[in-house]
Structure 1
Amino acid sequence: MLQRTISRIDLWRYRKVAQFCFGSVLDMGCGQQGLRNALSPSINYVGCDIDGGMVRGSAISLPFLDRTFDIVVLCEILEHLDAPGQAIREAARVAKNRIIISVPNDYSLVRLARLALGRDVEIDDEHIVSYNAFNLRSMLARSNFVTQKEFSFPLRLQLLPEIPIQSRFGYWQFSIADRRN
């Protein structure tokens, strides 16, 4: 697997996600395991990816028992999958308490600027589906998880510096959902 440097903006994302983590964490589609370094040393981290990670596995068929992890994280993978609903169901199956998702924000300044300029809104050819908070909330609810917090972060416009604040127009959409009792 080709190693690349993790960008400053990706580090911000991992730090945001880490704020909501505790206990044992499964990082689905972990890539270079960037989240691992943002987590407290007391957290038991497992990275799973089809092309690497500590455990090789697919997001739509995880090689773990039911409710194995306190938290399951899906950072920037749903938009790449043909079966995102199945990936969320698998995350719900192996999560005891929480699912954390980040996806590109449909309403980011980057996408809105591209739309205003008449350019393709989707930046990455590998993205199959786009999401907003409503879509994620609905998908999580079907898997018996209730969204506790949702926000967009950071503020970003191409060719300008990113601003590390939460905004409706932030680059990524985050959803933090807990299992219904």
Structure 2
Amino acid sequence: MVYNSMMDKALFNDRAAQYELWYQTPEGQYADTLEKDLFLKLVKPKSGQRILDIGCGTGHNLAFFKGLGLKAAGIDASKPMLAIASKKIGTEAELYWGHAEVLPFDNDSFDIVTLITVLEFVNDPTKVLKEAGRVARAQIYLGILNKISLLAVNRRTKGKFRGSIYNQAKFYSIWEIEAMVRRAIGKVPLEWRGTLFLPPSWHKYMRRFDRLMPYANNPFGAFLGVKLNVERREKNNA
């Protein structure tokens, strides 16, 4: 993860050990499955491609990427989280300590760059996105917490983010993300879809409904997947 302030960084460091617990719950597994399905539908990664996960945290997504046959690397500003990632992944992925605003990589170093729930926690998301565009050769994938989803509105109304890392997150709508992309990278082909239209706690009853809901251009899912084709960016934006 990357952070808005030293206080946020300390918050992530303190909760590094608990970060993975969410994925071990039935709700977390359900949400994780839908989010990974969305990545596959949009990105269509090919074995052997190089992928960078910015804000890789404990390496949860890196393990998934390795399972797809991708050459994975991750960068994070939390050393405790990277320590967990190192134990989990070992030498199967390259791990770097650093900040999303200043990536230690050459231009066009990766076929795919991912920022999954990262822009929500940084001071200057436009700068972070611009830097991602610099090191990405072909695609950027954004995993976004949607501010206008029913789940987000319900949680804000009931104060369920209090005491959570998400209490300090800034959620975005797809239209705000589109505007940010134009500022950071310029005019590039963009495709997005949404998922998690209902609370994950309803997973026992709503699996069929969530999968039947239309993905493309539905702005109300709690999680938005956004694919940017930077390989086709206009030359004056490169």
TM-score interval for Structure 1 and Structure 2 normalised by the shorter chain: 0.7 to 0.9
How does the TM-score come out when normalised to structure 2?
0.66
Q: Partner residue of 2:60?
A: 34
SS at match of 1:42: coil
For residue 149 of structure 1, what is the amino acid of its counterpart? E
Q: Partner residue of 1:146?
A: 188
Asked whether the equivalents of residues 174 and 219 of structure 2 are also in contact (C-alpha less than 8 Å), the reply is no
Please state if 1:10 is matched with 2:10.
no
Question: Aligned in 2, Cα 1:50/1:114: closer, same or farther, shift over 3 Å?
Answer: closer
Deviation track 1:71-103 (CA, whole Å, cap 9, x = no partner) reads: 110000101111111110110010011111011
Runs of 4+ in 1 over 4 A off after TM superposition: 120-123
Please state if 1:43 is matched with 2:90.
no
| Aligned residue-pair number | 178
Q: Partner residue of 2:7?
A: none
Give the number of the structure whose residues are more often helix, by fraction: 2
Question: Aligned in 2, Cα 1:159/1:10: closer, same or farther, shift over 3 Å?
Answer: closer
Mapped to 1, the partners of 2:187 and 2:56 lie a distance apart of 22
Q: Partner residue of 1:72?
A: 113
Question: Aligned in 2, Cα 1:29/1:144: closer, same or farther, shift over 3 Å?
Answer: same
Tell me the CA shift for residue 105 of structure 1: 0.8
Please state if 1:105 is matched with 2:131.
no
Deviation track 1:120-146 (CA, whole Å, cap 9, x = no partner) reads: 59672121x221111212222231352
Give the number of the structure whose residues are more often strand, by fraction: 1
Q: Partner residue of 2:226?
A: 175
Mapped to 1, the partners of 2:118 and 2:168 lie a distance apart of 10
1:137 to 159, 164, 178: 178
Question: Aligned in 2, Cα 1:121/1:135: closer, same or farther, shift over 3 Å?
Answer: farther
Asked whether the equivalents of residues 111 and 121 of structure 1 are also in contact (C-alpha less than 8 Å), the reply is no
Mapped to 2, the partners of 1:97 and 1:140 lie a distance apart of 15
- More displaced 10-residue stretch of structure 1: 162-171 or 28-37: 162-171
CA RMSD of aligned residues (A): 2.4
Gaps of 5+ in 2: 1-15, 86-94
SS at match of 1:146: coil
Mapped to 1, the partners of 2:187 and 2:107 lie a distance apart of 15
For residue 36 of structure 2, what is the amino acid of its counterpart? Y
Please state if 1:126 is matched with 2:126.
no
Q: Report % sequence identity.
A: 22
Deviation track 1:9-48 (CA, whole Å, cap 9, x = no partner) reads: 1343234324413411100001122222323543111011
Please state if 1:62 is matched with 2:88.
no
Asked whether the equivalents of residues 38 and 193 of structure 2 are also in contact (C-alpha less than 8 Å), the reply is no
Mapped to 2, the partners of 1:69 and 1:60 lie a distance apart of 17
Mapped to 2, the partners of 1:104 and 1:96 lie a distance apart of 25
Asked whether the equivalents of residues 30 and 49 of structure 1 are also in contact (C-alpha less than 8 Å), the reply is yes
Larger radius of gyration: 2
Mapped to 1, the partners of 2:177 and 2:167 lie a distance apart of 21
Question: Aligned in 2, Cα 1:92/1:135: closer, same or farther, shift over 3 Å?
Answer: same
